[in-house]
Structure 1
Amino acid sequence: MARRQVRVVGAMLQNEQGRYLITQRPPTASLPLLWEFPGGRVEEGEEDAEALAREIQEEMGVEVDVLGQAMHTHHEYPNYDIDFRVFHCRLSRPTDEIQHLRVHDHRWVALEEMSAYRFPDADAKTLAKLLDLDN
């Protein structure tokens, strides 16, 4: 039987101080309370940028401009495979307040501080690539 393939998009949102937005998964979600780049699953028939904007609106109540793909990784979990694409984004209205609609918490974090947070494996791969690009 073929393994389930899940297409996921994430946002690399950076503020004026050069910090990146990460969000904490709810305690009732799979991989509870881990930190991740905001985003979510791409639904059938949806474009990546459209899915990313929708997910961020649903999770945090803010609108983003999706600027372009930053990186692509693949990760195999025990029961499914993740096709994970991360996009550079910016807040459409930087003054909008981030709400915790479907996230437990959020932080703006400098790259060198990211190791203090626990990420799911797929996000950890993305973070490793991001840190490598920064060096």
Structure 2
Amino acid sequence: MDAEKFKKYDRVGVIALIRRGEKFLVIQRSESVRAPLTWCFPGGGIENGETEEQALVREILEELGFCVTPLERIYESETPWNVYLYWWTAAVSDEELSRLHISPKEVKSVEWMTLDELRTHPDTLESNLSALDILREKIFD
């Protein structure tokens, strides 16, 4: 983890891109978190001393109740609210996925959406919208 990023940004986080065919697992954020009720890829903050991979596994377990295997960091971005994000592809087995149990304090709902569905959804989180073209290029090309 680049310690300089922790100094420069208010927060450093990881995003999980969990894919089944053309669809990705996305969450609707709960009413009690920043950007309430928006739709986005799951993820969260990296804690001090944690690797990106450890943070990814922890955040998905906390929010969705199952374990993922981080595969590859494919993108990095900055949000308008001074957060630096590492975007990771992640794998999950069917057995793990069957353990899906959302944390209501962080997640209101879970859906599988294509990138186009996420792009046209009226409540998609802005930082996710700006990344969709790059994600499509890195994942599907």
Category of TM-score, reference length = shorter chain? 0.7 to 0.9
Helix, strand or coil at the partner of 2:130: helix
- Superposed CA deviations along residues 16-38 of structure 1, whole A, max 9, x for unmatched, are x3211111100121110001111
Q: Which residue of 1 aligns with 2:25?
A: 21
- Superposed CA deviations along residues 87-112 of structure 1, whole A, max 9, x for unmatched, are 01011x32333221131101111122
8 Å contact from structure 2 (residues 44, 59) kept in 1: yes
Q: Which residue of 2 aligns with 1:103?
A: 107
Identify if the C-alpha distance between structure 1 residues 3 and 49 changes in structure 2 by more than 3 Å, giving closer, same or farther.
closer
Post-superposition offset of 1:54:
0.1
More helix by share: 2
Distance in structure 2 (CA, Å) of the matches to 1:88 and 1:3: 25
Identify if the C-alpha distance between structure 1 residues 8 and 100 changes in structure 2 by more than 3 Å, giving closer, same or farther.
same
TM-score normalised to the size of structure 2?
Answer: 0.82
Q: Which residue of 2 aligns with 1:119?
A: 124
Q: Which residue of 2 aligns with 1:70?
A: 74
TM-score normalised to the size of structure 1?
Answer: 0.85
Q: Alignment length, in residue pairs?
A: 129
8 Å contact from structure 1 (residues 84, 122) kept in 2: no
Distance in structure 1 (CA, Å) of the matches to 2:46 and 2:14: 7
2:59 is aligned with 1:58: no
Distance in structure 1 (CA, Å) of the matches to 2:37 and 2:74: 25
Percent of aligned pairs sharing the same letter: 24
Q: Which amino acid aligns with 2:12?
A: R
Q: Which residue of 2 aligns with 1:82?
A: 83
Runs of 5+ consecutive residues of structure 2 not aligned to the other structure: 1-6
Runs of 5+ consecutive residues of structure 1 not aligned to the other structure: none
- RMSD of aligned Cα (Å): 1.9
